A and B are shown apart, each in its own frame.
Chain A
């Protein structure tokens, strides 16, 4: 894998990682945050897009190697 200028895909992965971190990691203070339904949806959408992105990355690499 070569590392070059960030591609839109890499930017998307970075954004998803950022959202994943702020939602799931970081210090928990009150411990009773109620994530709204929208937030929960957001998490699942994020995961799906990330998985899709990894699959796409796989395919692009395979095409690049061929």
Chain B
């Protein structure tokens, strides 16, 4: 089986890392796009978490060695080289467009957990409780929207999860990284009641777009 880690453009060299299960990394070029892969025999029986981390480390290792890197979801495997080549050929346009879009960029992840209500705010009735809850959610949305707008202005693209607490990813040019991180820190400092978790810089996992 051939396991795929990422696509890259203008890859200088492979990182000094092993792939999943210690398999050596290999590069497969198709026109101007390089697929980074490893070979494995039979199904993986190890800890899937370790395998997922190994996959992630390869992707992160590539980001400093290529002009653009497009991470592939963990677990994508092909029976052999010719199957992979066919798949690649049929998607080359989308992969190339996505590589151009993320070129020179990293991804920053931001999560904001809502403040827990003060203990004194015990609602008298179920209706009161729901009203209070809705008001809190609306306030949380308004506050996080302010952060989102600011970060969106500083980013090339963004995606926001549409469920529960605020969770978003921003595609940020490397030159803007400090500015974005400073904006998150300022937001966190001015809202001590919220828990703000910012991670990255990551490879642009959330911006595969029409390559998917």
Contacts and interface: CB of A to CB of B under 8 A. Distances in A.
Interface of A: 1, 3, 13-15, 17-19, 21-30, 33, 35-36, 38-39, 42, 54, 57-58, 61, 65
Given A36-B48, A54-B113, A27 B197 contact: no
A33 B75 contact: yes
A1 B196 contact: yes
Contacts of A22: 52-53, 55-56, 59, 71, 73-74, 205
Nearest to A57: B195
Contact of B53 (A15, A24, A57): A15
The SS class assigned to the A binding surface is helix
A1 B109 CA distance: 17
Given A17-B109, A26-B73, A29-B87, 5 more contacts: A21-B206, A25-B205, A27-B71, A29-B72, A30-B76
15 contacts: A17-B199, A18-B53, A19-B56, A22-B59, A22-B71, A23-B52, A23-B73, A26-B72, A26-B74, A27-B73, A27-B98, A27-B212, A28-B73, A29-B76, A39-B75
Contacts of B192: 1, 61, 65
